[in-house]
Structure 1
């Protein structure tokens, strides 16, 4: 979870100190606010943790080669968020979402700590871009996915003049 810890630290460095107004402000109608980006990260991490847990308990052995998950940070390649990870338009505070992020992060951390390493290597589920991925690779994928969105947050801050 080294990349995940690094990403979370960088995320908090980018968002700490933002006013509630700035956190919720969209640069344009068709772009996400920083709040929506953070909510998306929370939804993704929670869903991935739940999926990993489910596959550890009931998943089948898959043939998943190592994927170049670091490529997830490339913002030049547009990827639509899955329906379950689309953020809402509701107003939220930075502290509310940081609390939710901490919960999803601790859940993923606990799964990694308690899981059988062999099970993480041999079980998996497909990623929409990378194809079949082992559960072992899904854990650091969360960190790379977060790094991608930290770049997006920096773009939004620049557009908002923050």
Structure 2
């Protein structure tokens, strides 16, 4: 469990370091009509974390059932386009970086509160929830997928910075 928490913390710190330099106009600027702004990427990450937390809570209530582990590695390949499910599509309202940081903190606090209720982390390999893209996956893979997904979008934010000319 500690490795999961370490990976979640390290990835979140990388994300926060990427978004702090943005001015509000840059943060909300879309690189083009077909792509999200950095603010929308962050809103998406918040929505995903909320949804994943709910999925983990739901999965913890299920009967134990060994589910085959999935190869999640393609999530890290930014060349592979993955359409976001409707429930995690961000809105287009303008938002400040500090508001996003607070919302990211709140969604992470909620996730960690759920994880803190787990006495034996092996239960995460014995219970599952259905993912909209991967199907049934063990709960430990939901956690792994969360930080991998965030890493993917950190790269997207870096790309956005380059396109719109944000200083590092």
Residue number among 10, 15, 27 corresponding to 1:11 in the alignment: 15
Q: Distance in 2 between matches of 1:125 and 1:149?
A: 23
Tell me how many residue pairs correspond in the alignment.
161
Given candidates 105, 108, 117, the residue that maps to 1:105 is 108
Q: Counterparts of 1:49 and 1:80 in 2: how far apart (Å)?
A: 20
Query: What's the TM-score once normalised by structure 1's chain length?
Result: 0.92
Q: What is the RMSD computed on CA atoms of the aligned residues?
A: 1.5
Give the corresponding residue for 2:48. 44
Contact 1:36–1:87 (CA under 8 A) maintained in structure 2: yes
Q: Which runs of 5+ in 1 are unaligned?
A: none
Runs of 4+ in 1 over 6 A off after TM superposition: none
Within 5 Å, give how 1:57-72 maps onto structure 2.
Answer: 57=61, 59-72=62-75
User: Structure 2 unaligned runs (5+)?
Assistant: none
Work out whether 1:77 is the aligned partner of 2:80: yes
| C-alpha displacement of 1:77 | 0.9
Q: Equivalent of 1:154, from 158, 165, 168?
A: 158
Conservation of the 8 A alpha-carbon contact between 2:29 and 2:38:
yes
Contact 2:66 2:125 (C-alpha < 8 Å) held by counterparts:
no
